Amino acid sequence: MLQIKKYEGADKEMDENLRMCISTNERDHKKFLQIYKTGTKLDKFGSDLLIFVGPGLERIGRIEKITHFFILLICISAWNAKISLFIYVMLHLLIMMAGRWIIRFSSGKLDAIQEECTKHYDKFRYDMYRKNGIMQNSENGRDEICFENSGNMKVVSGMFTAEFNSGVPEIYIGCRKNKCDLPLESRSGKDLCSMRHNIASVEFTDKFDILVEEGTELKCMKYLTPTRQLAMIQAHIWDDIRQMTFYNGRIVGYMTNGFGGYIPGIDVYNRKSILKSFEDVENYCQNVGRLARSAHSTYLQLEKIM
């Protein structure tokens, strides 16, 4: 349900104007969209003059075929063949012209609705982004949320990255229950090897997959002390994480849930309601904010146990 809550800089009049705009244009949108669809049907029906030759007979439905044959039979039964054909063609042309006039008329109304609603939608989306701390990356256009006071943490879609001094060269940790997909090579292109046979704790190896660069096993074992292994086992964060990578003083974490899909905006020629478009962007922004806060909480817990 669209709440259109008050945001910083907004006032009661602005909220009420938005509600009235959506309500009014929603009603007009349904009316003119139905008129537009009627016009397209009339245009198509009137354009089907050549149903008896070429591909025309194949591209129309059974009901339309019967209707065309019925009209033609009426014409033939009432007049001779030439007059019947002339009336048949003129009738279709009139229907086609009427359909195209209806399309032009309703398109103008729908385009005006699109223009007005898009202005409100863009403003609403901007304020929802600001309210939830979402920024759009200027280079790739992806939505992200930053936590500068937490290791310059950045949350993007289903992953986060931040400063994290683990003291190990490079280590990949996957949570087995979340179907992790660990790489076969390190970031520098070196082969990775499993630490499964180096770790004594069966409970730990049942829960995690650990991969490191060949030749760094000893350093990583010094990092994965029994105390740290126990802390990882007991932590309640693994429902949200699929896998993590530690390298060069940074961490990259992959979450089990992402931000979701692209928000298409207003499209008045679609059956989707205008209200639904506003609800989608509101729900998307709230979902992004919730997932980012969850990722941030996970990062803070990782700082304690890792």
Question: Is there a contact between 82 and 90 (Cβ–Cβ < 8 Å)?
Answer: no
Q: How deeply is 87 buried, as exposed, middle or buried, from its count of CB atoms within 10 A (0-12, 13-18, 19+)?
A: middle
Same domain, 155 and 106: no
Same domain, 66 and 158: no
Same domain, 150 and 225: yes
Q: Indicate whether 241 belongs to any domain.
A: yes
Reported as half-sphere exposure (CB side, CA atoms, 13 A), residue 52 has a value of: 6
Domain boundary among 108, 131, 154: 131
What DSSP string describes 202-255?
HHHHHHEEEEEETT-HHHHHHHS-HHHHHHHHH-S-TTTEEEEEEETTEEEEEE
Structural domain containing residue 102: 12-131
Same domain, 220 and 301: yes
* pLDDT attached to residue 57: 46
Q: Indicate whether 291 belongs to any domain.
A: yes
Domain count, the chain: 2
Same domain, 124 and 143: no
Q: Indicate whether 43 belongs to any domain.
A: yes
Instruction: For residue 124, give the nearest of 243, 306, 266, 241 by alpha carbon.
Output: 266
Three-state DSSP at 155 gives strand
Spell out the per-residue pLDDT of the chain, length 306, in tens. 444 444 344 444 447 778 888 888 999 999 999 999 999 988 877 776 555 444 444 555 666 666 666 666 666 666 566 666 677 677 777 888 899 999 999 999 999 999 999 999 998 988 888 888 888 876 777 888 998 888 889 998 888 999 888 777 788 988 888 877 887 777 777 888 888 888 888 898 898 988 888 888 888 888 888 888 898 888 888 888 888 888 888 889 888 887 766 677 888 988 778 888 888 888 888 888 888 888 888 888 888 887
Q: Indicate whether 4 belongs to any domain.
A: no
The DSSP 8-state label assigned to residue 131 in this structure reads H
Same domain, 124 and 142: no
Domain boundary among 83, 101, 131: 131
Q: Indicate whether 5 belongs to any domain.
A: no
The contacts of residue 164 (CB under 8 Å, 6+ apart) are 151, 246, 249, 250, 251, 302, 303, 306
Same domain, 293 and 241: yes
Same domain, 58 and 205: no
Same domain, 239 and 192: yes
The DSSP 8-state label assigned to residue 298 in this structure reads H
Q: Indicate whether 6 belongs to any domain.
A: no
Same domain, 115 and 154: no
What DSSP string describes 75-130?
HHHHS-HHHHHHHHHHHHHHHHHHHHHHHHHHHHHHHHHHHHHHHHHHHHHHHHHH
Domain boundary among 99, 131, 163: 131
Same domain, 157 and 174: yes
* pLDDT attached to residue 110: 94
Q: Indicate whether 2 belongs to any domain.
A: no
Q: Indicate whether 189 belongs to any domain.
A: yes
d(Cα 235, Cα 298) in Å, to the nearest integer?
10
Same domain, 117 and 69: yes
